[in-house]
Structure 1
Amino acid sequence: MRALLLTVGSSSIVFPPNSTPTPPHHHSTKPKSKPSLPSKQSPSRPPPPSSPSSTASPPPLVSAVRWDSTTSRRRNRLRYYADVGSKLAEDGRLEDFLMVAESVVDSGLKPSQFVALLNSKLVYKGITRRLKEEKLRSVVEVLSGLKKLGISPLELFDGSAEEALAQECRRIMKCGELEEFISLMELLAGCQFSIKELVEPPEIIKICVKEWSPNVAVRYARIFPNPQILFCTMILEFGKTGDLASALAVFKASQQKQGYPNMYAYRTMIDVCGRCGDYLKSRSIYEELLVQKVTPNIYVFNSLMNANAHDLSYTLDIYKHMQTLGVAADMASYNILLKSCRLAARVDLAKDIYREVQSLESTGALKLDVFTYSTIIKVFADAKLWQMALQIKEDMLSAGVIPNTIAWSSLISACASAGLLEKAIQLFEEMLLAGCEPNSQCCNIILHACVEACQYDRAFRLFWSWKRSGLHKAFFEDYQGKADSNGRVEHAQDNYTLSIPKRTSDSHHLRFKVPFTPTTSTYNILMKACGSDYYHAKTLMDEMKTVGLSPNLISWSILIDVCGGSGNVQGAVKILKSMREARIQPDVVAYTAVIKVCVESKNLKLAFSVYAEMKRYQIKPNLVTYNTLLRARSRYGSLQEVQQCLAIYQDMRRAGYKSNDYYLKQLIEEWCEGVIQNKNQKQGKFGSCSKTDLGGPQSLLLEKVAAHLQKSSAESLAIDLQGLTKVEARIVVLAVLRKIKENYSPGDKIKDDMLIILGVQELGAVGAKHESGVKDAIIKLLQDNLGLKVLLKGHKTATERKIHLENPFGSYSDMEEIIGGSELPPQMESPTRRPAALQRLKVTKESLYHWLQRRWGAC
């Protein structure tokens, strides 16, 4: 019988004789029924004749055949189809290769036999070809299909194919197709590929963090059989970018399907909360463990205390709870407690903890490390207790612990902060002799100490010396002196003792040289040392740019101060423009520096102009800005100046700042008293007032004055004096009168009367005496001192009161009584009713007009 030849495209597939085509295969997830093979005891049956319907449809690419029962024929047919599959794979026709494999498996043969007979080189070549054509998705689908048939995809890959697979995976990852990439990784993991070898996990985590994709990161981690460490790495990486929400999402996913809490994940999550500043979340995570009745380990406790180190009371509570649960504290626990004491400035408690740790060390329970000593030194250094800090250094050396850079920096800072420049430099040299390499912070501390001691030349000499030859120090024992048994070198010329470890004092010739790398802070310190030499400071800033450093906001602010110190106010203002040209937005510090320069140069108009510009750029002033402006004037000359300062005062109060209003009240009082004072006239008894008279910082005086002075002249003249003392009421009334006087021009008419509200008062009630005192003081001011006509509103004449008693339900308008008129006899008042009266004074517009005419004539 002749063989059957099928031609598809440019390829031909030859089927052996005695094979009967079967209906075409359809790719489906449904299991395929396998043909039953004849048993060895019975002879093979002839194949049934083909039906007309089967011959009418075109034959499939590959048809399953009913194999001959003999082993040789089965082997020949299997080898034949293995050859066909190998050629299909070589041509890159992997889908057709999968169809051949499906047909072979459907025939009841073992997949391993088929794979063993494949030409592996051709298969490797074909798979590599498809991968280089960037068709990874189709390759993975074929591999997944082979996996379902029981064929291991790994057997179809050699080194070159695996490298091509890895390159294609990295290409897709770099293209930003993150979802597609993770989907392919899941399929490849199902095919038993080592995902870790294809692409390094840190690269995937980095992209997930950059794309803010915690869900994709979780999918990737779940590909691995033990993803817990990978989960913790993801939590930490999200936390480093400040993305606490994504870190929490990964943390919650890591807790799913876990039979027990992962302490490492809890510790990492708490560390991230501390890094992101959400200490309350770290506490809730800790409480979750307690709800589950799980005792955290020492590492979780340490992370929790470190995240809450700013809250000393809470940190101590956690420490006590840890002891209650029987968890022994380690050296890190005590270091964190000392850190918390330093942040809370609790030197006394830090001493107690240090003594406790020393006691534990004496029993062998703990061993103090360099971090413990460095932390306690930092505690004393921050408190400027330099002698105690030096004593801790002696304890370190006695215990054989070598101080590190942090310890040396703290010691140098402690002496520098106390103004002990020579001692700080001595410690710096001792640090070099001990073989400890200084960092830029140590050098900056020394330079800053020189500037604070006004030794500007010395700061520049040290800077240029370090920059030229590095940080170096040479000591000759045979010339300077011999080291004693404790490792101390006595310097005959300098008359001071250096305490160094013995290991460095045994050498005959000691020389250290460390390159010096200045930072932006270094140049900022030197710019301060320029004093008022603007050009020198500008040269340093230019040099900073030359060495690759970028001036920061502090650099520009210092340049403004130096420029202002030289008297160049306009130059200081121009620096703000230069900052924007350098693409640096001036902050509140820079603007405040310019305002301060303007105030010190008595250019108040420019100072308030800079303040207005600051507000336009929506930069919020700070307390220093407000105080600088409010204290800029020694006196007020016009209403506009008063209104200007009062507007700033109100902005300050609205921003939430509280200041001592006494200085501003004095200026307001002085300005107001100008209404009744002539040039050669001294202040009267109300001309000056003490703090007690003016009330506390929260008094209503300034708010009352501001409210009245900011009204336009067209508004009705009504002055509310409720709640004010006699002196404060006087100042408010004088402020309004001065406003009227300054806004008045000859020929103008006064349209309204001036009303003064004293308050609602029950006749005979408590406080009537106080209200009467305010009323009398204001009446005396207006009538006696200013000659104004004052009317009392709300009182009734004797006849009107009698009418009211006879007809109490009648209505009438408020009546006026000229001050000094007759009062109603007591016997005519109602014995059963004391009506409330609104105490008001009215200054007539005619009286105000004549007063203004007199004042204008006097001018």
Structure 2
Amino acid sequence: MRDALSILASSAVVPPSATPSHHHRRRHSNYTTTNTRTRPKPNSKPNPQFTASSPLLSSSRWDNRQSLRYYADLASKLAEDGRFQDFLMIAESVVASGVKASEFLALLSGKSVASGIARVIGEGKVNSGVEMLFNGVRKLGIEPVQLFDGAALESLRGECRSFLKCGEVERLVSLMEMLAGFKFRIKELVEPSDVVNLCVNKRDPTAAIRYAQNFPHIEMLFCSIILQFGKRRDLVSALTAFEATKQNLSSPNMHAYRTIIDVCGLCGDYLKSRDIYKELLARNVTPNRYVFNSLMNVNACDLNYTRDIYKQMEKLGVTADITSHNILLKSCGLAGQVELAQDTYREIRTLESKGALKLDVFTYSTMIKVFADTKMWKEALEIKEDMVSSGVNPDTITWSSLISACANSGLVEQAIKLFDEMLQAGGQPNSQCFNNLLHACVEGCQFDRAFRLFQCWKERGIQQATTDDNQSNLDECVAVDQMRVPFRPYSHLTMRVPFRPTTSTYNILMKACGTDYYRAKALMDEMKTLGLSPNHISWSILIDVCGGSGNVAGAIQILRSIREAGIQPDVITYTTAIKICVANKNPKLAFSLYAEMKKHQLKPNLVTYNTILRARSRYGSLQEVQQCLAVYQHMRKAGYKPNDYYLKQLIEEWCEGVIQNEHQNKGPFASRMTDFGPQSLLLEKVAEHLQDSNSESLSIDLRGLTKVEARLVVLAVLRKIKEKYIAGNSIKDDVSIVLGLQKLGSHFTKDESGVREGVIRLLHHDLGLHVLAVGFRTGNDIKTDKRGPLRLEEEVLERIVSPQAPESPTRRPIVLQRLKVTRESLHHWLQRRICK
């Protein structure tokens, strides 16, 4: 400040207008003094105070245009050096003297001012430097944006790009906020999508929201932010941006709701999309059809929910369009409900006949895919005929689905015929079409033909397509970059078709290797040389090929090497390895892989469960049974409905092992698999009683079981007791067996289900154990039946009476029937078993 005053004071002694011949020299001398910041001598007088009322700044002194230009140049130089405070002092003084701000502004050097601003911005002094300058010039009636000409704006734009390139999101957004506040068109300084992408890359939704709030119309930019976070699978950040949308907009924006629902689908959280829909309804807002379509599409994996949303859509008066119906078809296909898909398709055709809507290529393609996935190739071709007759031309996806329908059924010739039809119709096959042809060869067990096709596509030029059985069908010319396929029957016509192998291409070929591990490994190496990355499916196939040759150790080694390649094994990879262990009769290794899989928090699928449950052909120890029953319970909790027939057979065999040495003939109450109903509780009961947590409990609850199931549960507990006894655990208590409910006063031996009779026969007759019936004492005598002594022991029984009403003298209390096997009897039985 002192230097600037010195400049102005010295200029008062020799005004620029009075000495025109020395004007340039004097100005240069003063500026040099200013730059070097020469301090006045200690004993020199200080510069006089400089005010607007000083004679120096009287309006008469500014009559000379050259003097005004002089101070404008001086102010420009100060701004260029970043000395904004001195710049503002001169500007304020000039304007205070009566000079119009616009006149002074016109004389400033925009390039110098912009250069100084850019330098201060680069030093990170946005708030303390640039913002102070902008506030100062605004007080003078000058908008900061007026300081910038085209070159100056370009300089500012370059500084913004520099922040963008360096990834300095905070500095860039802060600068954008400041510039927007001073009416700069920040959209012209840097592309908004670039700023949004930077915020997304930095996982910074707050910065993205701050940037979006600087625009007058923020709806589309907010939707872009939400979608970009969704594409990065960052649902938390997307939801943060969505909440900011609701706060910045006065009313619900349907486009924002549709976008966040789509993002839920991208991130695999379809349940969150349902919560967002409920929130919308709670606000008494009716979604439009686009929101409904997105919600249905995200939840297409749940057919029941999708259909419910469709019905709600109709109830709320929202008209469904063809997209809505297409999503219904897609949902039917994902659920494997072919008949329902056909009904939906017929309904759509009916609506079309009434003029309510028009079927599009997606409708036909979706229906074709439904049939393709279920190997109903004839029905898929019929849909194609409907499509052509309706004047809708099949696109690449349609042709690909048609070829896939034949490929899934192993119809190689039909798949090739469809491929030729596509070319004749002017279709452009994509890599999926070629892959489907290779898949057709693999499904048709024409492995050599698959390799011939692939080699021709890579290496040879042109070869005529034909379906003659004596020729190699479609061993056509396909180079790495292009293929020429003559149309049939118009062989004089040719067409260029792009072909580039994909990871899926090599995966299909690896399946064609059978048990030839080295050929499959060579294909994977070739894949890498082309810049393709093997995925989980590639590694799973390689493990399967290696294990198929009997090399279990090699297959497990491949599984271990996947992590070294930077890929985390998924559920399919582990399931493949488990299947190999099971096929090679190595259940111990299979269960260790299953445990490892759960340790890495991978959820087993239905194939995994079914595979691991078949790991053993028989059970030899309690631990093995517990292991399999734990898998079974996890499977049920995961929502799968297993076919437990095989498991029940093994449990039966293991349980009956307790008695087989004593009586090879199991008797009339021996278990038979035909006695198990579809809702059998056997496995749950056995699992409950064999848990390690129940190791000290010797109570067996048989309620709800049939006599066959009750027999097996009792045998399972006895085998558990036996194995623990052999391991050194002594019997500390009696075994209590709960049979069921019975009214007092009713005949004690009445047993309609036969459970009590069967259990007594098993324990006493087959195993020689001493059995006590626990009930009310009706006399001091001992009841006897022909199977042996059955004493009615006097004990306090559990009574079940209604809590709502007191016990009536005429009302018979209900008690639990129980049997008891004494500890001494068990001890003698175990000793006999061990001695044998």
Cα distance, 1:261–1:755 mapped onto 2, change above 3 Å: closer
The C-alpha deviation readout for 1:476-515, integer Å capped at 9, x for no partner, is: xxxx9xxxxxxxxx99999x9xxxxxx9899872222334
Deviation at 1:202, TM superposition (A): 1.2
Q: Is the aligned partner of 1:538 residue 2:521?
A: yes
Q: Determine the C-alpha separation between the residues in 1 that align with 2:702 and 2:249.
A: 72
Q: 1:105 aligns with which of 58, 73, 95?
A: 95
Q: 1:81 aligns with which of 55, 68, 71?
A: 71
TM-score (norm 1): 0.75
Determine helix, strand or coil for the equivalent of 1:437.
Answer: coil
Cα distance, 1:682–1:560 mapped onto 2, change above 3 Å: farther
Determine helix, strand or coil for the equivalent of 1:403.
Answer: coil
The answer to whether the Cα contact below 8 Å between 1:347 and 1:379 also exists between their aligned partners in 2 is no
The answer to whether the Cα contact below 8 Å between 1:630 and 1:664 also exists between their aligned partners in 2 is yes
Cα distance, 1:774–1:240 mapped onto 2, change above 3 Å: closer
Deviation at 1:405, TM superposition (A): 0.9
Q: Determine the C-alpha separation between the residues in 2 that align with 1:537 and 1:379.
A: 32
Q: Is the aligned partner of 1:349 residue 2:332?
A: no
Q: Letter of the aligned partner of 1:85 in structure 2?
A: A
Deviation at 1:463, TM superposition (A): 1.9
The answer to whether the Cα contact below 8 Å between 1:537 and 1:559 also exists between their aligned partners in 2 is yes
Per the alignment, residue 574 of structure 1 pairs with 557
The answer to whether the Cα contact below 8 Å between 1:370 and 1:401 also exists between their aligned partners in 2 is yes
The answer to whether the Cα contact below 8 Å between 2:307 and 2:328 also exists between their aligned partners in 1 is no
Q: Is the aligned partner of 1:93 residue 2:83?
A: yes
Deviation at 1:423, TM superposition (A): 0.7
Q: Is the aligned partner of 1:65 residue 2:54?
A: yes
Deviation at 1:713, TM superposition (A): 12
Q: Determine the C-alpha separation between the residues in 2 that align with 1:57 and 1:634.
A: 107
Deviation at 1:82, TM superposition (A): 3.2
The C-alpha deviation readout for 1:414-446, integer Å capped at 9, x for no partner, is: 222344321111111222343323222212222
Per the alignment, residue 449 of structure 2 pairs with 458
Deviation at 1:754, TM superposition (A): 4.5
The answer to whether the Cα contact below 8 Å between 1:94 and 1:142 also exists between their aligned partners in 2 is yes
Per the alignment, residue 610 of structure 1 pairs with 593
Q: Determine the C-alpha separation between the residues in 1 that align with 2:112 and 2:218.
A: 37
Comparing 439-448 with 714-723, greater Cα deviation is found at 714-723
Cα distance, 1:101–1:403 mapped onto 2, change above 3 Å: same
Please identify the structure whose Cα radius of gyration is greater: 1
Q: Letter of the aligned partner of 1:111 in structure 2?
A: A
The answer to whether the Cα contact below 8 Å between 1:315 and 1:340 also exists between their aligned partners in 2 is no
The C-alpha deviation readout for 1:218-270, integer Å capped at 9, x for no partner, is: 44334344444434433433443345565565556557787887665565556
Comparing 250-259 with 612-621, greater Cα deviation is found at 250-259
Identity fraction in percent: 58
Q: How does 1:701-780 map to 2 (within 5 A)?
A: 701-709=682-690, 715=696, 717-741=698-722, 753-759=734-740, 761-765=742-746, 769-770=750-751, 773-780=754-761
Q: How does 1:223-302 map to 2 (within 5 A)?
A: 223-243=214-234, 246-247=237-238, 250=241, 268=259, 271-272=262-263, 275=266, 277=270, 278-280=272-274, 283-284=277-278, 287=281, 291=285
The answer to whether the Cα contact below 8 Å between 1:721 and 1:729 also exists between their aligned partners in 2 is yes
Give the count of matched residue pairs: 766
Q: Determine the C-alpha separation between the residues in 2 that align with 1:130 and 1:846.
A: 95
Q: Determine the C-alpha separation between the residues in 2 that align with 1:260 and 1:267.
A: 15
Cα distance, 1:447–1:585 mapped onto 2, change above 3 Å: same
Q: Is the aligned partner of 1:217 residue 2:231?
A: no
Per the alignment, residue 49 of structure 1 pairs with none
Per the alignment, residue 167 of structure 1 pairs with 158
Cα distance, 1:722–1:766 mapped onto 2, change above 3 Å: farther
Determine helix, strand or coil for the equivalent of 2:214.
Answer: coil
The answer to whether the Cα contact below 8 Å between 2:230 and 2:238 also exists between their aligned partners in 1 is yes
The C-alpha deviation readout for 1:568-589, integer Å capped at 9, x for no partner, is: 2222233322223333333333
Cα distance, 1:117–1:775 mapped onto 2, change above 3 Å: closer
Q: 1:553 aligns with which of 526, 530, 536?
A: 536
The answer to whether the Cα contact below 8 Å between 2:663 and 2:766 also exists between their aligned partners in 1 is no
The answer to whether the Cα contact below 8 Å between 1:341 and 1:350 also exists between their aligned partners in 2 is no
Determine helix, strand or coil for the equivalent of 1:764.
Answer: coil
Q: 2:616 aligns with which of 621, 626, 633?
A: 633
Deviation at 1:150, TM superposition (A): 1.9
The C-alpha deviation readout for 1:830-855, integer Å capped at 9, x for no partner, is: x9897876644444555445545554
Per the alignment, residue 14 of structure 1 pairs with 10
The C-alpha deviation readout for 1:533-555, integer Å capped at 9, x for no partner, is: 22222222232233222222222
Coordinate RMSD, CA, aligned: 4.7
Q: Determine the C-alpha separation between the residues in 2 that align with 1:747 and 1:504.
A: 81
The answer to whether the Cα contact below 8 Å between 1:64 and 1:103 also exists between their aligned partners in 2 is no
The answer to whether the Cα contact below 8 Å between 2:292 and 2:309 also exists between their aligned partners in 1 is no
Cα distance, 1:248–1:672 mapped onto 2, change above 3 Å: closer
Per the alignment, residue 425 of structure 1 pairs with 416
Q: How does 1:470-549 map to 2 (within 5 A)?
A: 474=464, 509-549=492-532
The answer to whether the Cα contact below 8 Å between 1:635 and 1:670 also exists between their aligned partners in 2 is yes
Deviation at 1:348, TM superposition (A): 1.8
The C-alpha deviation readout for 1:39-86, integer Å capped at 9, x for no partner, is: xxxxxxxxxxxxxxxx99863467553555659747576455335434
The C-alpha deviation readout for 1:23-46, integer Å capped at 9, x for no partner, is: xxxxxxxxxxxxxxxxxxxxxxxx
The C-alpha deviation readout for 1:657-686, integer Å capped at 9, x for no partner, is: 443444333333333333443499444333
The answer to whether the Cα contact below 8 Å between 1:528 and 1:558 also exists between their aligned partners in 2 is yes
Deviation at 1:566, TM superposition (A): 1.5
Q: Letter of the aligned partner of 2:342 in structure 1?
A: V
TM-score (norm 2): 0.77
The answer to whether the Cα contact below 8 Å between 2:451 and 2:509 also exists between their aligned partners in 1 is yes
The answer to whether the Cα contact below 8 Å between 1:358 and 1:368 also exists between their aligned partners in 2 is no
Unaligned runs of 5+ in 2: 16-43, 474-485, 794-808
Per the alignment, residue 19 of structure 2 pairs with none
The C-alpha deviation readout for 1:643-670, integer Å capped at 9, x for no partner, is: 4434444444455544344433333333
Unaligned runs of 5+ in 1: 20-54, 481-489, 497-502, 802-817, 825-830
Comparing 424-433 with 204-213, greater Cα deviation is found at 204-213
Q: Letter of the aligned partner of 1:422 in structure 2?
A: E
Q: Determine the C-alpha separation between the residues in 1 that align with 2:333 and 2:121.
A: 60
Q: 2:369 aligns with which of 375, 378, 381?
A: 378
Q: Determine the C-alpha separation between the residues in 2 that align with 1:7 and 1:398.
A: 89
Q: Determine the C-alpha separation between the residues in 1 that align with 2:6 and 2:651.
A: 103
Per the alignment, residue 827 of structure 1 pairs with none
The answer to whether the Cα contact below 8 Å between 1:90 and 1:126 also exists between their aligned partners in 2 is yes
Q: Determine the C-alpha separation between the residues in 1 that align with 2:563 and 2:177.
A: 51
The answer to whether the Cα contact below 8 Å between 1:89 and 1:122 also exists between their aligned partners in 2 is yes
Deviation at 1:343, TM superposition (A): 5.1
The answer to whether the Cα contact below 8 Å between 2:114 and 2:156 also exists between their aligned partners in 1 is no
Q: Is the aligned partner of 1:412 residue 2:403?
A: yes
The answer to whether the Cα contact below 8 Å between 1:435 and 1:504 also exists between their aligned partners in 2 is no
The answer to whether the Cα contact below 8 Å between 2:698 and 2:736 also exists between their aligned partners in 1 is yes
Per the alignment, residue 599 of structure 1 pairs with 582
Per the alignment, residue 313 of structure 1 pairs with 307
Cα distance, 1:518–1:846 mapped onto 2, change above 3 Å: same
Q: Determine the C-alpha separation between the residues in 2 that align with 1:638 and 1:196.
A: 73
Comparing 831-840 with 770-779, greater Cα deviation is found at 831-840
Q: Determine the C-alpha separation between the residues in 2 that align with 1:86 and 1:307.
A: 60
Cα distance, 1:618–1:401 mapped onto 2, change above 3 Å: closer
Q: Determine the C-alpha separation between the residues in 1 that align with 2:216 and 2:554.
A: 67
The C-alpha deviation readout for 1:720-747, integer Å capped at 9, x for no partner, is: 4444333333333333444455566699
